[in-house]
Structure 1
Amino acid sequence: MVEPVEDKEEENFFCGPPEKSHAKLVFVSTSGGSLWNLQAIQSMCRIEQEQIRSHISFGALCQRSAANECCPSWSLGNYLAVLSNRSSCLDTTQADADRTLALLRFCAPYYHRGVLVPACVGSGQGKPPYCAQVPTKCTRSSAVYQLLHYLLDRDFLSPQTADYQVPSLKFGLLFLPIIKTASMLDIYLDGLVDPIKVSDNYTSISGMDLGLKPRLLKYYLAEDTMYPLMALVTIFFGMSLYLRSLFITFMALLGVLGSLMVAFFLYHVAFRMTYFPFVNLAALLLLSGVCVNHTLIFFDLWRLSRSQVPSGGLAHRVGRTMHHFGYLLLVSGLTTGAAYYGSYLSRLPTVRCFALFTGTAVLVHTGLTLVWLPACAVIQERYLARGCVPRAPGQRGVSDPWRLLLALHRKIRGLRRIIAILSRLLFQRLLPCGVIKFRYIWICWFAALAAGGAYIGGVSPRLQLPILLPLGGQVFRSSHPFERFDAEYRQQFLFEDLLPNEGGNLPVVLVWGVLPVDTSDPLDPRTNSSVVSDPDFSASSPEAQEWLLTLCHGARNQSFFGPQPEGWPTLCFVEALQQWMESPSCSRLGADICCGQSDFPWAPQLYLHCLKMMALEQSPDGTRDLGLRFDAHGNLAALVLQFQTNFQYSLEYGPVHHFYTEISRWLTTEMGKAPPGLGKGWFTSTLELYSLQHSLSTEPAVVLGLALALAFATLLLGTWNVPLSLFSVAAVAGTVLLTVGLLVLLEWQLNTAESLFLAASVGLSVDLTINYCISYHLCPHPDRLSRVAFSLRQTSRATAMATAALFASGVLMLPSTVLLYRKLGIIIMMVKFVGCGFASFFFQSLCCFFGPEKNCGQILWPCAHLPWDAGTEEPDEEKGRPGGPGSCSEHYELQPLARRRSPSFDTSTATSKLSHRPSILSEDLQLHDGSCCHRHAQAPASPRDLLLDHQAVFSQCPALQTSSPYKQAGSNPQTWIRQDPQGQKAEPLQALPEAPIHLPKSKVEEFPDGLCSSGSTLDGLSVSDDTCASDPSAHVPDSVGTSPEGQNNTGHPVLERGQLNGKRDTLWLALKETIYDPTLPNSHHSSLSWKGRGGPGDISPVVLPNSQPDLPDVWLRRPSTYTSGYSS
């Protein structure tokens, strides 16, 4: 049998015992079995040799022996070789492993009883008495102790598993002869970063502690920048697909970058901020999401203005678009910025800096977008937009590549047409119908989700607080070897346990003479605070001496007072001074007035002199701290007294919080009895982690509450409508609560980054809800169901596209190694997806039940008129003026309808209760003042003209039109009849250029159908709460299309219903009396907005019954009902 070598030979093999400062590797079995077998032991040696010792940098970093050779690693194989007298671990046999296992099994009980310690190892003299209990073969070599203490996991041969016939070794630790340092980065990147290189058929490296976390974090922050860039590209690629314009996409990206540059300038120059945390760069992705939402909404409204007024100029279209979009942008931008600014309330410097920078960037982008997007749209429309001219069918000489391109173009156009049809079906029909019909289910479902998220996030299991400081916390994904060592493997080895003399008990440090004032920059954690002295401090008076002695005796009687280690600072220095003055050691420095003084309390001068003498005698070299602090003049400047408690140090928040409250309560009571010079004392302890945990446990709820309050205040200032503001904030709050609950289920810890992202969740989700809120607010319909359907049809497609782009960008960030990037991607995905659901279903369902109708919940200002309560009365001066509105009849003009078919012509119908024939709703009937109300170009606009121009902007409830009874074909040009106010002869004017009636389908489909439809197309939804389509019995045959496929064989287009056929170029209707009486019981309307209108100033629609039984009626609205829906 091979006997264990002596400890001297072992020390010659190893370079001393392993230490915590050495780099460490954790090995596990590839098959999941035990590591205590010859193949696994030799596998660990081979991996170390191939991947670490063979590296070119290892020789320069390794710890060297007396022979100037790199020391061997402290590995299981090397210890096996030492105990078996082998030259290397590769020479060991299975018999050596079995003998060593038997030796460890024999000695393990003595180790776990605490008698097998380094002091008992070896054959020297002066061992502690308890070492006699340990057999000699366990202490002959330190290898047995080091194997059990350092290399083998705590469950191997533990008291609970000592009786196992075949013990299982799950984890094995290997100490490299290299001090943990950033210089190991090359070794890690070349040999340890690839999982394939650090594993074989027997073992693999699953955990590492190389001291590389800070250095590797900087490396991966730069290396993984590709993932945020890919996310950014995805966001703007989705925008380009939706807009089909690279120019607009590029200009939007420039707007985001420009906003960030301006915000960075204000951050450093205006706000004088010097600390710029890396997490501030997340504002690039967050601001891109805001930009996508605003850009898509703007260009949807821009296309809508083009479809409504095709002959209008660019200035007119910009005015119409900005009348709606400017309002939405200001409310959305200010609310989002205020939500980000709400995070400034946090005490964490990183969160406050992020809030300041991101909120400023959002506000700057809001102001820039007001002028940037309209200018880009005008440039795009005037200089870059080109129509596609198809090649004639009979043209020859087309090359094969060109044919392939044309075929590909046709395929793409067909696919685009299919997507447009599906999009129209989803967002214009199914979504409004589904929200309105199932609103009961949506409210209950999303309310339950929000309540469940609140319970999970705030009650049980709730968000877990961090157990490590940020510098030692998790910075990589959980599967990274560095993170696995800290989270899983560190506590598996007994040497990592905290010893009692290493701070196992929490100390209490009492301080007088220094005020607890932080003079550092609260927004820059890199700055240090300076000491602020207490000018009232005095500890030499007789009252102060008596109180300090009483404090000492009172602390000893407390239940938290623990045993005091010898040589530590003491709280009872006054008692120690008494004992020293009466002891013989007082005279070691010579005869002094302090020796033999028993009169207590002493005079102040004698007291200070004796304190100095005791300090010199007991600690001449300054190694013992008595807690006395003297200034340069020899005066007592401060007291720093310390004592140990019996509270055990814990990484959990609860025990440390109990310790803090217990000591605070006791010290507050004692300070109330202190003399004037000692009344400003305070205490501290090992509370760095507790301080972070306390901030994170209380601040997120306050910060989120403040952000929601600011969002509500901003929405209320923007809409002046209380219910809409409350519903919007409720949807945002539900989004945040559900997000927190999902993050808890993902096992997130509430650290600094998580707190920052939670604070940003309000700003991330509020813009989606604002899209629907403003659209609902601006809808001219007074009834809630029509407004809900209108807002969904108008903004749901852009909202869904923005959500999809942000969700895809978050998915692309998941493969990142850096945890910050991964969590940013997760929070973007989650908040946008959940926020879109709450905005589209929960908010809209709330509006279906409790949404404001007419001016309900509206904060009205003097002289403010809402679109549904505006009267028809004219000012007195206009009524009496010749040619004014009071002196001429109202005129309506039916323009040709063959330019393009309105989507509402086919999708929205209502049944006329007057003649029981279908009436068709469309926006193609244009409203004008009568001929007597026309004004010359040179004359200034009258107030009524200005009012009508203002009301006509972005109105979604235009007049109603139907097909003309004249069905003969004709192609005479349209003329406009201009009549002089004095009744002179009218002269025909050539009509403004109109779009040709044979536009290709691609051009027709360029406009979003949901936005081109008028608000009146939703009147069918207002008839009943249980229907979202008009009466099937009121079906109207589809119009003949105007695309090239719809032309006849002669090439002439087939005219649609409603086109003027040449027999009448312009139809003027002089409305002098109300033909349709809305008060009749049988004359119900298809829109709730027409109910209850009668009497003087009646603004109900005018219905002209059609003489043909198979044709619809003509429904016309008064000018006073033709408003834009603005409540200002």
Structure 2
Amino acid sequence: MASCDRDRCRVPKYCAQYDAVYNLLFYIIDSDAFSPPTYSATFVKNVMIFLPLPTSSTILPYYMKLQETDLIYDTLSMPAMDLGLKNALFDLWIIEDTWLMGLGGLFVFLCVWVYTKSLVLTILLFTAITYSIGIAYFLYIYVFNLEFFPFMNLLVIVIVIGIGADDAFLYVKVWKMISKQLIRDNVVSNDNGLTDIKNVSSAGETILVQILEETLKHSITAIFVTTLTTAVAFYASYVSYIPAINCFSVFAGTAVLVNFLLMVSWLPVSVFIIDVKLCINKTVLLGAISKTINEIGEDIKVILNRFIITCIMRLHILFVVILGAIGVCSVVVVFYYPGLQLPDSKQFQLFQTSHPFEQYDMNYREKFLFERFGSDIGIGSKMPLRWIWGVKAIDNGNHMDPFSKGKLIFDENFSISNPKSQVWLLEFCAKIKRQSFYQQMLGPLLPNCFIESFKMYMSRRCIDNIDNINRTPCCESSQFPYTKEVFDFCIIKAVESLYQTPREIFMPGVAGPKFLRSAHPPSVAAIVVEYESVIPYSMSYREMDKFFIEVENWTRKELGDAPPGMKCGWFLSDLQFYDLQGTLAGGTVIAMMLSAGLGFIVLIPSTFSCIVSVSALLAMIFSSTVTIAILVLSGWKLNVLESVAISTSAGLAVDFSLHYALSYTNASGTKSTRVKFALSASSGPTAAASLTSGFAGIFLLRSNLLPYSQIGTFLTLIMSVSWIYATFFLCALLNVFGQSSSKDPPTEERKSISRVSSICSVVPNLESHELEHLADSNRTNITHSHSPSSVSATTVVIHDDYENSLSKIDKKPSVDLNND
């Protein structure tokens, strides 16, 4: 501007009317227009339009009309706006978008229906899931007495649906497998294809008891272990200092445990009633359709099992190297570079990045001067320096409720009226002004360090001849430091006089002495010393951390030499966002490591093998870190919801690894045979569980709300990555480092069995399950004669699906599956 001509730089009078230039530069035009980075960019790109409308929910219908248009006219577009509707619109859409969560639940419902082949059982299962969420909410509100219910607790609905479906898959498979074997041992076929139960008068009731006992014995153990690992992962997030994460951990962990209690009580009864009491024979048409679907599904399952087993048997070294290298790289990405990215905006993002409200907060707000300087603290502001005495830095409010402020705890040893305290405080304020972080300021600083202004106040003459006033002892007759009696009396007079100062000189603020309202006469309960620093406010955690550590260390050093009445002071600044960043960074990593450690503790007694437990732990850690690394590289910032997802990733990733570990541990033979058996038993069910939960997450991706979209992204990733690592990495690792095992099938004496009340005449064709071999190991062939006595016989049982798979494979081009 200095290089331009005089006439050119002179503003016409009509432009200066009504503060036109000021309003134009401060409100209308963005800052880049009059201070462009390059000369070629000297034109207006962004302008602000102010509407004569209130920024409240009353203009929500107006926004809905705007949303129906494209907001483009010729070469002009409206990419961003701020109507003050962000929270109101979020509250509206968080309810409207629950249909996506319902759609995911419907998909899981259909999957469970297809799998169990029973609509009634599926309805009963989802009723139990609904009850578990309702009971957990009741405990959360009325037993735990928690009033704050963050919106992220809605994530629990999706998680509990997935866990409930997985529990149902497991229990129904074990029930059908055991019932099939025990009934088949006591059923003969007629020429017409029908079946008759042998010795019905003495066989049925004991068989039903045995089926129920064996099913509960094997299924509840697995359900309990998976429930425990997931609940532990949720409760581990309680170590965080963020109320929203604390509340989520309590609600999620409680919901998972309640769901377990209902699954072990409600589900067995439901299966028993439907499979035993409601024996409805299918029509010929439905039977043919069901048979065709089962045969197609069996062929697909055999092909996939054959493909997976062949790949792992032949390429196990390659899988260990490649997936292990990816896992190591993910650890570097998560914990070293680029690492978990801390949030760089104080505005909590609620909508997708493309939404006009988010565009304004992210890209346009700081371009306009009125937004940049309009807030109390923001870009361009200086960090305040505050020191407090008289109040202890203790938060005794409800940590589960962000609106609970607690009560002040006063320092009983605080005494500013002590002469030594007065001298020390005066020297403390003088030392502050000599520090590198102190900002020199012009003009009077009356309240900043009140002891300085109080000393000046006490230096006035004692007799006012004009007003004929005697100011004794609050005058020059008293020498600094003042006695306790003089200080307590005169400080009240000084503050009263200070608040009568003209507004241009003194503006009441947080600095100065604070009096106890209930005391008569008033006494000083706390003091605040405040100055401005040279450090500008920044979203950078490193810059704010450097500022805080420098001032905090200097403060502690000075307080070490303070008199007893001033030793309990503490430093404070506008560090709320910095504290949130630090809490997220530290608490998330601690919760994730604690979750992994507790998961390992659960694995040890479940597998009784150090090698299997360490391998499963490694697969769980890599599943978690790979998922987090993908999210980090895709631009996720470590905010509250992201912290919850990362903290619980280890608990959600351990389930599939645990299924394979249990199958491998309880199988016998060489390590290759044990791996083949674990794959044949667990790859299908775990893939089905991953598919249902993953698709439930995919449905949430269509939401306009960022939290719903992030929940869907996280669920889809953690399910797919954990299945890949559990199937291809863990099994390959066990094929390399595993050990052989030999187990003889136990024999068991069985008493004669009594009459059956009711049993279906058709035994369903079963799928494989990771725990079927557990029942096989305890399975007994019950042989009867016409006499009342019975003789026990030992039967060696081969896994049904494994045998069927091999028989079907024999019909196809042969592949040597015993190849190590």
TM value normalised by structure 1: 0.63
How far, CA to CA, are the matches of 1:431 and 1:669 in structure 2? Answer: 65
Deviation at 1:306, TM superposition (A): 4.1
* Contact 1:902 1:1012 survives alignment (8 Å): no
Aligned to 1:594: 474
Deviation at 1:136, TM superposition (A): 4.1
How far, CA to CA, are the matches of 1:725 and 1:657 in structure 2? Answer: 40
2:306 equivalent to 1:418? no
**Cα gap change, 1:842 to 1:937, in 2 (>3 Å):** farther
Aligned to 2:66: 192
For 1:592, the aligned partner's letter is T
Please give the per-residue CA displacement for 1:5-50, whole angstroms capped at 9, x wherever unaligned: xxxxxxxxxxxxxxxxxxxxxxxxxxxxxxxxxxxxxxxxxxxxxx
For 1:473, the aligned partner's letter is F
Deviation at 1:290, TM superposition (A): 1.1
Aligned to 1:183: 58
How far, CA to CA, are the matches of 1:935 and 1:544 in structure 2? Answer: 103
For 1:802, the aligned partner's letter is A
Deviation at 1:206, TM superposition (A): 1.5
Of residues 131, 145, 149 in structure 2, which corresponds to 1:258?
131
For 2:170, the aligned partner's letter is I
Q: Could you tell which deviates more after superposition, 363-372 or 676-685?
A: 363-372
* Contact 2:342 2:639 survives alignment (8 Å): yes
2:323 equivalent to 1:446? yes
How far, CA to CA, are the matches of 1:928 and 1:870 in structure 2? Answer: 12
Aligned to 1:12: none
**Cα gap change, 1:812 to 1:543, in 2 (>3 Å):** same
Deviation at 1:133, TM superposition (A): 7.9
Please give the per-residue CA displacement for 1:289-313, whole angstroms capped at 9, x wherever unaligned: 1122222222333333344334354
Of residues 435, 451, 454 in structure 2, which corresponds to 1:577?
454
* Contact 1:552 1:571 survives alignment (8 Å): no
2:514 equivalent to 1:629? yes
2:468 equivalent to 1:608? no
Deviation at 1:481, TM superposition (A): 0.7
For 2:336, the aligned partner's letter is V
How far, CA to CA, are the matches of 2:578 and 2:604 in structure 1? Answer: 39
* Contact 2:173 2:767 survives alignment (8 Å): no
How far, CA to CA, are the matches of 1:306 and 1:697 in structure 2? Answer: 51
For 2:145, the aligned partner's letter is R
Deviation at 1:279, TM superposition (A): 1.9
Deviation at 1:852, TM superposition (A): 4.2
How far, CA to CA, are the matches of 2:555 and 2:308 in structure 1? Answer: 64
How far, CA to CA, are the matches of 1:476 and 1:500 in structure 2? Answer: 23
Deviation at 1:500, TM superposition (A): 11
Deviation at 1:783, TM superposition (A): 2.4
For 1:834, the aligned partner's letter is V
When the two chains are superposed, the root-mean-square deviation of aligned CA atoms in Å is 3.7
* Contact 1:336 1:763 survives alignment (8 Å): yes
* Contact 2:104 2:697 survives alignment (8 Å): yes
Aligned to 1:823: 710
* Contact 2:462 2:474 survives alignment (8 Å): no
Q: Report the 3-state secondary structure (helix = DSSP H, G, I; strand = E; otherwise coil) of the residue aligned with 2:50.
A: strand
Aligned to 2:204: none
* Contact 1:567 1:624 survives alignment (8 Å): no
For 1:248, the aligned partner's letter is L
Of residues 598, 607, 612 in structure 2, which corresponds to 1:710?
598
**Higher RCO, 1 vs 2 (CA within 8 Å, ≥6 residues apart):** 2
Aligned to 2:251: 357
Aligned to 1:761: 649
**Cα gap change, 1:493 to 1:268, in 2 (>3 Å):** closer
User: Which residues of 2 match residues 287-298 of structure 1 at below 5 A?
Assistant: 287-298=160-171
Please give the per-residue CA displacement for 1:416-441, whole angstroms capped at 9, x wherever unaligned: 533431222112x2212212221111
Deviation at 1:389, TM superposition (A): 5.0
For 1:629, the aligned partner's letter is K
* Contact 1:457 1:740 survives alignment (8 Å): yes
Of residues 463, 466, 474 in structure 1, which corresponds to 2:349?
474
**Cα gap change, 1:1011 to 1:648, in 2 (>3 Å):** same
* Contact 2:313 2:817 survives alignment (8 Å): no
Aligned to 1:154: 31
Larger radius of gyration: 1
Aligned to 2:732: 845
How far, CA to CA, are the matches of 1:347 and 1:760 in structure 2? Answer: 16
For 2:303, the aligned partner's letter is L
* Contact 1:569 1:642 survives alignment (8 Å): no
Deviation at 1:938, TM superposition (A): 7.7
Q: Report the 3-state secondary structure (helix = DSSP H, G, I; strand = E; otherwise coil) of the residue aligned with 2:386.
A: strand
How far, CA to CA, are the matches of 1:567 and 1:1011 in structure 2? Answer: 88
2:273 equivalent to 1:379? yes
Of residues 557, 560, 566 in structure 2, which corresponds to 1:669?
557
Aligned to 1:303: 176
2:439 equivalent to 1:562? yes
Please give the per-residue CA displacement for 1:742-786, whole angstroms capped at 9, x wherever unaligned: 11122111111111122222232222222112122222x142211
User: Which residues of 2 match residues 34-45 of structure 1 at below 5 A?
Assistant: none
Deviation at 1:282, TM superposition (A): 1.6
Deviation at 1:703, TM superposition (A): 0.2
* Contact 1:739 1:834 survives alignment (8 Å): yes
* Contact 1:788 1:844 survives alignment (8 Å): yes
Q: Report the 3-state secondary structure (helix = DSSP H, G, I; strand = E; otherwise coil) of the residue aligned with 1:812.
A: helix
For 1:691, the aligned partner's letter is D
* Contact 2:694 2:719 survives alignment (8 Å): yes
How far, CA to CA, are the matches of 2:385 and 2:154 in structure 1? Answer: 41
Q: Could you tell which deviates more after superposition, 570-579 or 690-699?
A: 570-579
Deviation at 1:475, TM superposition (A): 0.5
Q: Report the 3-state secondary structure (helix = DSSP H, G, I; strand = E; otherwise coil) of the residue aligned with 2:284.
A: coil
Q: How many residues align?
A: 761
For 1:186, the aligned partner's letter is P
Q: Which runs of 5+ in 1 are unaligned?
A: 1-108, 117-130, 392-405, 855-866, 879-898, 905-922, 959-1008, 1021-1025, 1032-1087, 1089-1128
Please give the per-residue CA displacement for 1:793-817, whole angstroms capped at 9, x wherever unaligned: 1121111111111111111111111
2:646 equivalent to 1:646? no
2:277 equivalent to 1:486? no
How far, CA to CA, are the matches of 2:764 and 2:448 in structure 1? Answer: 92
Of residues 620, 625, 630 in structure 2, which corresponds to 1:732?
620
2:678 equivalent to 1:791? yes
Deviation at 1:524, TM superposition (A): 1.4
Aligned to 2:90: 217
Deviation at 1:215, TM superposition (A): 0.9
For 1:440, the aligned partner's letter is I
User: Which residues of 2 match residues 765-780 of structure 1 at below 5 A?
Assistant: 765-779=653-667
Q: Report the 3-state secondary structure (helix = DSSP H, G, I; strand = E; otherwise coil) of the residue aligned with 2:52.
A: strand
Q: Which runs of 5+ in 2 are unaligned?
A: 187-206, 750-762, 769-775
* Contact 1:224 1:816 survives alignment (8 Å): yes
TM value normalised by structure 2: 0.85
Q: Report the 3-state secondary structure (helix = DSSP H, G, I; strand = E; otherwise coil) of the residue aligned with 1:341.
A: helix
Deviation at 1:160, TM superposition (A): 4.0
**Cα gap change, 1:163 to 1:246, in 2 (>3 Å):** closer
* Contact 1:570 1:643 survives alignment (8 Å): no
User: Which residues of 2 match residues 301-450 of structure 1 at below 5 A?
Assistant: 301-311=174-184, 313-390=207-284, 414=292, 417-427=295-305, 429-450=306-327
**Cα gap change, 1:336 to 1:591, in 2 (>3 Å):** closer
For 1:617, the aligned partner's letter is S
2:817 equivalent to 1:1029? yes
How far, CA to CA, are the matches of 1:368 and 1:192 in structure 2? Answer: 48
For 1:425, the aligned partner's letter is I
Please give the per-residue CA displacement for 1:927-959, whole angstroms capped at 9, x wherever unaligned: 76999xx998689x9xxx7xx88xx7xx7558x
Please give the per-residue CA displacement for 1:654-685, whole angstroms capped at 9, x wherever unaligned: 11111111111011101111111111111211
* Contact 2:677 2:802 survives alignment (8 Å): no
For 1:797, the aligned partner's letter is G
Q: Report the 3-state secondary structure (helix = DSSP H, G, I; strand = E; otherwise coil) of the residue aligned with 1:748.
A: coil
User: Which residues of 2 match residues 856-867 of structure 1 at below 5 A?
Assistant: none
Deviation at 1:570, TM superposition (A): 4.5
* Contact 1:231 1:810 survives alignment (8 Å): yes
**Cα gap change, 1:388 to 1:1011, in 2 (>3 Å):** farther
For 1:178, the aligned partner's letter is L
Of residues 807, 814, 833 in structure 1, which corresponds to 2:720?
833
Deviation at 1:584, TM superposition (A): 5.7
* Contact 1:343 1:759 survives alignment (8 Å): yes
Where is the helix percentage greater, Structure 1 or Structure 2? 2
How far, CA to CA, are the matches of 1:364 and 1:339 in structure 2? Answer: 16
